[in-house]
Amino acid sequence: MRNTTKLKHILQLYTVALEMNEDGQMCLMIFNKNDNSSEEFINKSYSVVVDKAYRYMIKRLPTNSLLS
């Protein structure tokens, strides 16, 4: 699955903030739109942080829900 598609799915449930720190690492923070919980993913690669956020989102979904 492409990163753009993963990001599209993430944005359905989360607000996203993407930054780069002084060390050149990408920092992707996601904020749940329903319960205001948040999670942060840090890596040198944009692809890796998007993938980690997507996998986190999939784990948090109820088992009977499907992404459209």
| Beta carbons within 10 angstroms of residue 55's beta carbon | 12
Taking a C-beta distance cutoff of 8 angstroms, is the pair 53, 39 a contact? yes
DSSP state of 57: H
Right CATH for 3-59 from 3.30.160.20, 3.40.50.740, 3.60.20.10, 3.90.1150.10: 3.30.160.20
The pLDDT assigned to 11 comes to 97
Domain boundaries, the chain: 3-59
Each residue's pLDDT expressed in tens, for the chain with a length of 68 residues: 899 999 999 999 999 999 999 999 999 999 999 999 999 999 999 999 999 999 999 999 886 565 55
pTM: 0.87
Could you tell me if 28 and 18 are in contact, meaning their C-beta atoms sit under 8 angstroms apart? yes
